[in-house]
Amino acid sequence: MEFMQPGAFKKNANRAMADRDLRSAMAMLNAGMIPNRQGAVDRLPEFEQLSRRGRELKDHVLVYLDFYLERFERNCEASGGHVHWCATPEDARRAVLKICQSVDAKSVTKGKSMIAEEIHLNTFLEQHDIEPVETDLGEYIIQLAEEPPSHIIGPAIHKTKDQVSDLFLKHHAVLGRTERQTDPQKMVNEAREILRQKYFDADVGITGANYLIAETGSSIIVTNEGNGDLTQTLPKIHIVVASLEKVVPTLEDATTFLRILARSATGQEFSAYTTVSTGARRDDDVDGPGEYHVILLDNGRSAMLGSEVQDMLRCIRCGACMNHCPVYQSIGGHSYGTVYVGPMGAVLSPALLGVAEIKHLPCASTLCGRCEEVCPVSIPLPRLLRQWRQRAFEAGVVPNVERWALSVWAFFAKRPWLYGLGARLAMRGLAYLGRKEGRMRKLWFAGGWTQGRDLPAPEGETFQARWRKQQRKKVMG
């Protein structure tokens, strides 16, 4: 599949909305995720309190980020791990490659990691003759399909079961699996059996991190398939790729987030697996990697500290904002053309890639506020979207026609008498056009509206004009 460029947003969106398979996959998402989350939240009376505590914790960490990161580094190294500070995706890719090359790695297994997506690690490894093998089922599916993830926790959420059946048949036939499976359990088993050998063959295992624990130098991942455990314990080396803001002070603090994360994400009480990794294998350990590396990625995040969009760094990547977003529900994740999608993606992507490049994403929102309502760490997403719109406007990257339209509108809005005159004339005209049906089916200057909706006709005279007329009558008695 061609790589979807961010600039092609509208085209992407229209294509997505015309895709029947995508629509049926998205309908499943909407029908499942939203009630599941609500149920899980309702079943935990202290959800609100935990959520507030989580927000305070993140805000605290962001203020003392340098302190906690250095503490993490010290404790990680004390337990036999290595920390690599990487300012850019390029730095991070190079650091991973160097570690892989140190053991002459031919293949690496990977747990699900958005940071690996952010730095486009798979393509880079392939270019250097290292085969990346995704072990999370969703990631495995989109790797076979050669597509980017369309959701931060459900990367293959855009795929229907039938599409996955076809995909498995196409790629597994050469491995002797020539029967098309349609039973979900059988499909999972088939993928599991094929992946099993890959775990043993891999030289390096790469995972992300949901949390980095400053007090112990550990990393934590949560998964539902247990694939992360095999990825990080079987190979010689375990590499964790994580961004700066993943650090939390203590293990106890991590439990606060663990209790709200799965509930907000999938509606589970807890993910099936929560795995803590601390350093490399010790002499008396029964298993574990010989080396443990943490790639700490900045990529624009430190520049968000102290800025108007700092609140975005609280994000715990649950995906609730996209599940509840009316725009995401209509167009799916691929339309965004960015690694991070939905409301959180529309706020984070301009920070990572520049607002000139990504200016359209903050605009593609109705600002309905449901994302903020369901965000477990109360990120004011609509406010941050507006913030980016303002930065784009002030940077002069907004299309001229939009600027011009705003200026014309503002010219009238600032001059009530002129506005009144223009409004009366315009509304009389529109009322005349819509006099037969009470609405217009087509209007040359409002194509964006009338392509899918009729435009209700105005009553005719404006309210203010009618009101004044009535007041005058009252006075005249």
CA dihedral 420, 425, 427, 431 (to 10 degrees): 150
Note whether 372 binds another protein by CB under 8 A. yes
**Among residues 129, 176, 414, 474, which is the contact residue for another protein, using CB under 8 A?**
414
Strand partners, 296: 85, 242
**Among residues 331, 341, 351, 352, which is the contact residue for another protein, using CB under 8 A?**
331
Which is nearer to another protein, 9 or 257 (by Cβ)? 9
Nearest CA to 451 out of 461, 459, 441, 460 is that of 441
Phi, psi (deg, nearest 5) at residue 129: 60, 30
Note whether 70 binds another protein by CB under 8 A. no
**Among residues 48, 66, 162, 373, which is the contact residue for another protein, using CB under 8 A?**
373
Packing angle of the helix pair 184-201, 137-145 (nearest 10 deg) = 90
| Shortest CB 325 distance to another protein, Å | 9
DSSP assignment letter at 233: H
Phi, psi (deg, nearest 5) at residue 148: -80, 165
| Shortest CB 361 distance to another protein, Å | 11
Torsion sign, CA atoms 36, 38, 42, 44: positive
Note whether 307 binds another protein by CB under 8 A. no
| Shortest CB 365 distance to another protein, Å | 7
| Shortest CB 383 distance to another protein, Å | 8
**Among residues 45, 451, 473, 477, which is the contact residue for another protein, using CB under 8 A?**
451
**Among residues 41, 115, 262, 392, which is the contact residue for another protein, using CB under 8 A?**
392
Which is nearer to another protein, 165 or 378 (by Cβ)? 378
Note whether 42 binds another protein by CB under 8 A. no
Which is nearer to another protein, 101 or 307 (by Cβ)? 307
Note whether 35 binds another protein by CB under 8 A. no
| Shortest CB 447 distance to another protein, Å | 7
d(CA 236, CA 428) in angstroms, rounded, equals 77
CA atoms within 13 A on the CB side of 264: 28
Stretch that binds another protein, among 72-80, 186-194, 291-299, 412-420 (CB under 8 A): 412-420
155: which residues sit within 8 A by CB, 6+ positions away?
Answer: 112, 136, 138, 139, 141, 142, 149
* Residue 128, SS3 per DSSP: coil
Note whether 17 binds another protein by CB under 8 A. yes
* Residue 242, SS3 per DSSP: strand
Which is nearer to another protein, 94 or 383 (by Cβ)? 383
Note whether 419 binds another protein by CB under 8 A. yes
A 10 A CB-CB count for 458 gives 17
Note whether 15 binds another protein by CB under 8 A. no
Note whether 64 binds another protein by CB under 8 A. no
Cβ(428)–Cβ(459) below 8 Å: no
DSSP code string of 117-130: HHTTHHHHHHHTT-
Nearest CA to 74 out of 247, 235, 211 is that of 247
**Among residues 103, 398, 474, 477, which is the contact residue for another protein, using CB under 8 A?**
398
Note whether 310 binds another protein by CB under 8 A. no
Tokens of 423: 């409004």
* Residue 265, SS3 per DSSP: helix
User: Interface residues with another protein (CB under 8 A)?
Assistant: 10, 13-14, 17, 326-327, 329-331, 363-370, 372-373, 386, 388-394, 398, 402, 406-407, 409-410, 412-414, 416-417, 419-420, 423, 426-427, 435-439, 441, 446-449, 451-459, 461-464, 466-468
